[in-house]
Every structure is written in C-alpha cells, then in structure tokens.
Chain A
C-alpha cells in the first residue's frame, strides 16, 4: 500500500467553479502535512501547509482529519492558472509525496 494515496483525476472544471479532492495517508505518526503544486513536470512548489484546524490561503482551503487520516484541498472560483497537478505531502519525516491529482480549468 502506498504511504500517500491520491485520486489522479483529472478533474476538468470550468472557470469559476469549485473543485475539491482528497488524499489519504497510512502512517498515523505523520507529523505535518502540505500541498505542493507542480506544473507540467516542472519542479514542485509549496502551495500551502495544512493545519489541524483547517486553513485558508486566498481561494484555497485545506483540511486535515487525523482520525480518518485524510487531507483535503478545495479551490474556489477556479482560474485558468490553477491548472496543475497537486501533490499531497506528508512529513513522517522525511517527506512522502502522493502521485498527484491533475486539475484542468477550462475557459
């Protein structure tokens, strides 16, 4: 079983829509959690950390459920520029990456 599992998608959504997706992790001792963004096989970049109480960064909302061991990301008012692969990342340590969820926003 993979340590971090994600629905690969793709999620195809129109501009302005809301899209949400989850990932699950297997190691209950994991210490911290993140979402990274990766464009077209370029280098991954940190999108946001994920806190137990949930957190927002502009149009992005991340949630963590430690009891069920899943993490979610919600994107509101989708923009064309949000098209990317979103990587769920769990810190054991070291970091363990999911295979990514692809989101395509269409005009």
Chain B
C-alpha cells in the first residue's frame, strides 16, 4: 500500500545544531508539504514543492530549508536549531495540480530543541 513516512519520529537536539527531518512518500504525488503544529496555532505551512526541483516558502519558512531532488522525498533542514522550533512537524503529499485537495499526512516528528 502507498504511504507517507517520516523519520525520526522523535528527536531531541541542542540549539545551534543542524537537524534534518526526512519525509518519504510512495504515492508518486507531485506535491509535498511541510507543516509545524503548535498549541493555539494549528498547522502552519513551512515549505512546499509542486515537483522535482521546485520549492516554495510558506508562512513560517525562516530558519528552514528544503530541496526536492526526486518525487518521493522532501527533507526539511533546520539550519541552526532554535528553542522556538520545538514543535510537531508534519509532512504531507497530494496529487492534484495546485496542491489544494486531499492531502495525505505522515505520522509526524516531535522535535525538542534544548
């Protein structure tokens, strides 16, 4: 069965370290998204991609970067982790042009920055 996976599921790191969160989907979807979820804010879009070599900034992109070298993967990198980046991170993918329809989410990565 097609799926979307994230790794690691839990991560503890220190401020200033570079951290990469992995997202892998086997749906063969063109569109992939990274969100963070914090109490009171809901899901906020960090970066997204509509295809290989395409990346776009979301509403909270500062301090994060992504690259899309193949259809299946969209890794999220925190260049220099900050305590404000402690959050739950969800990756999602979707099939349709424009990216706004059913999105399938991964199980999430809980990140703690000390």
Task: Please indicate whether A and B come from the same complex rather than being unrelated chains.
Answer: yes
Contact indicator A91/B108 (Cβ below 8 Å): no
Most buried by B among A8, A32, A92, A96: A96
Q: Separation in Å of the B112 CB from the closest CB of chain A?
A: 14
- Asked if A17 is at the interface of the complex by the 8 Å CB criterion, the answer is no
Chain A hits for B42, CB < 8 A: 4, 87, 97-100
Segment touching A, from B61-69, B75-83, B96-104: B96-104
Scan residues 29-53 of chain A and give those whose CB is less than 8 A from a CB of chain B: 31-32, 34, 41-46
Interface residues in B, total, Cβ within 8 A:
23
Which of chain B's residues have a CB closer than 8 A to the CB of A34? 102
Residue-by-residue, is B30-51 near A (CB-CB < 8 Å gives 1, otherwise 0)? 0001010100111111001000
- By a beta-carbon cutoff of 8 Å, the part of chain B in contact with chain A is 33, 35, 37, 40-45, 48, 58, 88, 90, 98-103, 105-108
A interface with B by C-beta (< 8 Å):
4, 8, 31-32, 34, 41-46, 87, 91-100
